[in-house]
Amino acid sequence: MHYHKINSNDLQNLSSFITDKERFITNPTSHWDHDQFKTVKAMPDLVIQPITNEEVQKVVKYASDNHIPLVARGNSTGLMGANLTVKGGISLDMIKMNKVIEYEPESLTMTVQAGIRLKDIEEFLADKPFTYMPAPAMHWAAIGGNVDTNAGGLKAIKYGVTREHIRKLSVVLTDGRLYKFGTKAVKSASGYSLKDLIIGSEGTLGVVTEVTLRLYPRPKKSINAIIPFPNLDSAIKSVPAILASGVVPTTVEFMGRKVINLWEKYYNEKFPIETGNGFIILGLDAFTDDELKAELQQALAVTKPFNAEKAVILDADSAKAKKIWECREALLLAIQKSTPKMDEIDICVPINKIPEVLHRVDELEEDTGMRIPNFGHAGDGNLHIYLCSDNLSDEEYKEKSKYIISELYKTAKALDGNMSGEHGIGYARKDWFEDYYGQDYTDLLRKLKKVFDPNSVINPDKIFPLE
């Protein structure tokens, strides 16, 4: 695919669309060349920070008409290089489009610009009776990036992933028009759901500028049960029993003592529970104490055959509970601090197949000599598996990582799982996509891409190769 290189004439034309020249950055710094992992680096030729839909429309249309690659970017908390300008061109930095447009509790909705952070949404709703339920660990991520990757997070088991919490999107397509996909209405049996096609498309079909969120009444009661087990295997095997018992937890997370030790070391903290080597963190919420008590008793009863030790029951707002969640949410960064380079696979498998994946991880760790720490969402089968370079040479790390990634994708496919549960494919994993899902399926996606983006300028060469 041949793209036009931005020249002085393009700079002059594009700058006319932006009212404040400090938002038109012709000499980008390293701030814009990487994401959270820094596994892939790519410097844009130009950074534009829009503040209105109209600015986005003009820039996107110009880029398409002139065959200039354009990649929308939020707070760059992604892990797969999905927001990097691997073909050069324009980085459309959305972070200044960060306003709350409308708060409408009567319809249980809230409309925001795509660059607003989850943290800012949480703060806006803090004194209100409603909340936005999805809870990805990266609170500084922009909502537009969450939409583009269909982010999951800690509450997906009860409340679903981002897709279930989006009522409407404003999206700029390559013809320069602003489209409204979806409505504030709860239901629709009215034609194709283009909203749901955009969600999870990793910014490859258009640029999301506004998001109408679904709000929930804030639960009155919340507790956490931290259940220690003698080993991680026993902990994870208890999860299908919990979910089959009739209990609907907010959260079911797993983590082992090895990754907790990393958090203790690199954050100079102490995990509040000293017994056990494998842990399930069970979150429950309800509107009455009786509901909570009944669900908790049922969940704890079904874990006993799996050698569960005495659970620690905490009010969700207690200092001890907050410390445990601080640990869980910082595990990725703790692992990252422990090694010079890191990569990740976030395969998703049926929940009863998690132990098989972790056994394969143990085998690969032994076979390759590479450290492969992991943790994840036991309630929805999404595992976060990390490849640490430690003392390996760059060449050894590259070779062993490629082998481990390929083997874990084979494992996930054999178990009827997916390549990614929430972090996406991006640029880093695109070359595995067609082999995993097949040529017919991938060719169908290429046709869809062509309909939305005929010149292949919107976030090109992501998810799957264009050719």
Block residue for tokens 């050894």: 396
Average pLDDT over all residues of the chain? 95
User: What proportion of the chain, given as a percentage, has pLDDT over 90?
Assistant: 92
Judge whether 97-217 and 221-335 match in fold. Answer: no
What is the predicted pLDDT for the residue at 138? 82
- At residue 1, does pLDDT exceed 90? no
Is the model's pLDDT at 273 over the cut of 80?
yes
The amino acid at residue 38 is K
| Residue range 339-451 in CATH 3.10.290.10 | no
Domain boundaries, the chain: 8-95, 97-217, 221-335, 339-451
d(CA 110, CA 101): 8
DSSP per-residue string spanning 144-204: HHHHHHT--BTTHHHH--GGGGEEEEEEE-TTS-EEEEE-SSS---SS--HHHHHTTSTTS
* Residue 51's pLDDT band (cuts 50, 70, 90): very high
Rounded Cα distance between 324 and 328, Å, is 6
Domain boundaries 97-217, corresponding CATH code = 3.30.465.10
Q: What is the model's pTM?
A: 0.94
- 409 conformational bin, left if phi > 0, alpha if psi -120 to 50, beta if neither: alpha
State pLDDT tens for residues 336-393.
Answer: 999 999 999 999 999 999 999 999 999 999 999 999 999 999 999 999 999 999 999 9
221-229, strands of its sheet edge to edge: 312-315, 221-229, 278-286, 251-256, 374-377, 382-388, 342-345
| CATH number assigned to the domain with residue range 8-95, chosen from the 4 options 3.30.300.30, 2.40.420.20, 3.30.43.10, 2.120.10.30 | 3.30.43.10
pLDDT at 137 over 80: no
* Domain 221-335 belongs in CATH node 3.65.10.10: no
Q: How many residues does the chain have?
A: 467
Q: Which residues contact 120 (CB under 8 A, 6 or more apart)?
A: 98
Q: Which are the contacts of 415, defined by CB distance < 8 A and separation ≥ 6?
A: 349, 350, 353, 356, 357
Query: Over 90: is that where the pLDDT of 135 sits?
Result: no
Give the number of other Cβ atoms within 10 Å of residue 224's Cβ: 25
φ, ψ at 235 (rounded to 5°)? -60, -50
Instruction: Give the DSSP letter of residue 380.
Output: T
**pLDDT range class, residue 242, cuts 50, 70, 90:** very high
Q: At what angle do helices 53-65 and 8-15 cross, to 10 degrees?
A: 160
Q: Which residues of 130-157 are buried (b: 16+ CB within 10 A; e: fewer)?
A: bbbbbbbbbeebbbbbbbbbbbbbbbbb
Report the distance separating Cα 228 and Cα 4, nearest Å: 58
Percent of the chain surpassing pLDDT 70: 100
Task: Identify the CA nearest to 239 among candidates 380, 413, 382.
Answer: 380
Q: How many C-beta atoms surround the C-beta of residue 438 within 10 A?
A: 11
Q: Which of 107, 105, 118 is nearest to 183 (CA)?
A: 107
Give CA 52 to chain center in angstroms. Answer: 25
Distance of CA 288 to the CA centre of its chain: 32
What pLDDT was estimated at residue 325? 87
The dihedral through the CA atoms of 127, 131, 137, 141 has a sign that is: negative
Structure tokens at 220: 């009155």
Chain segment 64-122, per-residue pLDDT in tens: 999 999 999 999 999 999 999 999 999 999 999 999 999 999 999 999 999 999 999 99
Place of tokens 């055959």: 305
